[in-house]
Amino acid sequence: MPANERALIDAAALRQWEQQAALAGLDLMARAGAAIAQWLHRHYPPPRRLLFAAGTGNNGGDALIAARLLLADYEVGVWQPLPPVTAAAQAARRQYLAAGGRLDRTLAALPPAEVLIDGLFGAGLNRPLDAGWQAHLAALDALPCPRVALDVPSGLDAWNGCVQGAALPADHTLALLCHKPGLFTADGRDYSGRVELLPLDCPPTLVPPPQGELLAANLAPLRRRHNSNKGSFGCVSIIGGCAGMGGAALLAGRAALALGAGKVRIHSLDARLALDPLWPELMIAPLGSSSLAADEVVAIGPGLGQSPQAHRILAGVLAHPGALLLDADALNLLAGDDALQQQLRQRTRPAVITPHPAEAARLLACSTVSVQQDRLAAVRSLAAKLGVIAVLKGAGSLVCGPDGYYRLCTAGNAALASAGQGDILSGSIAALLAQGQDETTAAGNAVWLHASAGDRYLADAGGPIGLRASSTLPLMQQLLNRQLAGSDHDHSHRKPPF
């Protein structure tokens, strides 16, 4: 996907973009209607019965123009319970009726649909739907046919991905002009189906600077020279694993090895953890037995606990000059201590933090519900408040730096909602940091690999249930190696040396 097709902008920038296009003489509604009609013709060839649900705003106008353009080839009906309120949508309605189109205010009056096109609400919806509209959506949801949403599934907030009282699930969503972040985070993935961008051939000079982008992997720099050794790929130290939680540290350590770190040490707070019999390559020793080298990557938090000892260790580790990742109980300790937060902000090299929504809520002194109601605002607040690269895990994981620019992962599914997956992600980020990637790149690549491994499991298993964290590692490892092999164009002609 080209970079400009990954761009994400906010609502204010989109409004300004549309205004600038109008001033330049571009009829975006006409372009949208034509693009929608072409898409429907390609994906649902005639003859078919199409039902367009048209709202009162410009989203309804887009639907009416597409409906008019398809009258010659399809049996078309338009359901519009209320008259349009914008001048452009009113004109689209007049043109549709003048062309002989059928329009009804009562859904039952229209013949059964083979495809439903949802043009009720667009990206401008910013309020909960009342009982009447919820009933309308329920009636449409009961129709036994594929649904295509125009720009945004009706009832879904385009910017935060939250359902506004009720929403109409789509099989396809045609994002108009640009992608909307709400299609991919929070409830968006459950309602948007397959998302496709219709950029409407807008001149690049009118496109505003993006505030974020859909996450794309940047794995090519991880390709390896034959002339390498373990020292070429860095050292990771995992600090955690208190009594009863040693598995978290082991999972993070295994992930760091599996994703390519040259060597991995686990500094366990439980002296009884001395060996990983399944992964004996892991070096396990108490933290006091060896110092942390300035050039090694430190990941603290998996199984750390919140004891006074853990607090002291975290305070010391925040002074580490090298790459640093904080997860799990390191974040919980941080949330309750302003002095630790100040230490974190004063680091010359930004740390990476990987909270799930509840941990993010503790760091922001708000509720988990508040975080989930606006995940983008939450991750931006975290990154700015703490001066870090923040990874907000969940549906549509987000990676954001202190400047507020964010990356949104469109991969992943509920298969990853199981214990230990966060430890796998932390160890994976640490491994990529050890191999020389910067914090933002390492975090984004690890998030993408982890999420894509979940998608591979879903495809292979036929469903999301049963993926253990330890079983995610070989999927990630295989995906990474295959991606690198596919990108190694310079050496693809060489035969193996045997």
Q: Which of 301, 252, 247 is nearest to 473 (CA)?
A: 252
Residue 128 counted as an annotated binding residue: yes
Residue 394 counted as an annotated binding residue: yes
Asked if the domains 3-212 and 220-487 are classified in one and the same CATH topology, the answer is no
Which pLDDT does position 85 carry in this prediction? 96
Which pLDDT does position 493 carry in this prediction? 33
Tens-level pLDDT at each residue, the chain (498 residues) = 555 799 999 999 999 999 999 999 999 999 999 999 999 999 999 999 999 999 999 999 999 999 999 999 999 999 999 999 999 999 999 999 999 999 999 998 898 999 999 999 999 898 999 999 999 999 999 999 999 999 999 999 999 999 999 999 999 999 999 999 999 999 999 999 999 999 999 999 999 999 999 999 999 999 999 999 999 999 999 999 999 999 999 999 999 999 999 999 999 999 899 999 999 999 999 887 667 999 999 999 999 999 999 999 999 999 999 999 999 999 999 998 999 999 999 999 999 999 999 999 999 999 999 999 999 999 999 999 999 999 999 999 999 999 999 999 999 999 999 999 999 999 999 999 999 999 999 999 999 999 999 999 999 999 999 999 999 999 999 999 999 998 544 333 333 332
Whether the CB-CB separation of 282 and 235 falls below 8 Å is answered with no
Kindly report the backbone phi and psi dihedral angles of residue 115, in degrees, each rounded to the nearest multiple of 5, phi listed first. -145, 130
Which pLDDT does position 1 carry in this prediction? 53
Residue 58 counted as an annotated binding residue: yes
Residue 122 counted as an annotated binding residue: yes
Residue 393 counted as an annotated binding residue: yes
Return d(Cα 175, Cα 486) in angstroms, integer: 30
Return d(Cα 462, Cα 470) in angstroms, integer: 19
Return d(Cα 118, Cα 59) in angstroms, integer: 9
Residue 395 counted as an annotated binding residue: yes
Residue 125 counted as an annotated binding residue: yes
End-to-end CA distance of the chain: 37
Please check whether the domain covering 220-487 is classified as CATH 3.90.25.10: no
Residue 356 counted as an annotated binding residue: yes
Return d(Cα 134, Cα 1) in angstroms, integer: 36
Residue 305 counted as an annotated binding residue: no
Q: Which of 109, 131, 99, 134 is nearest to 120 (CA)?
A: 134
Which pLDDT does position 6 carry in this prediction? 94
pTM of the model: 0.94
Residue 118 counted as an annotated binding residue: yes
Which pLDDT does position 57 carry in this prediction? 96
Which pLDDT does position 2 carry in this prediction? 54
* Extents of the domains making up the chain: 3-212, 220-487
Residue 487 counted as an annotated binding residue: no
Residue 316 counted as an annotated binding residue: no
Whether the CB-CB separation of 423 and 255 falls below 8 Å is answered with yes
Helices 308-317 and 338-345 sit at what angle, rounded to 10 degrees? Answer: 20
Residue 60 counted as an annotated binding residue: yes
Residue 61 counted as an annotated binding residue: yes
Just give the CATH number of 3-212: 3.40.50.10260
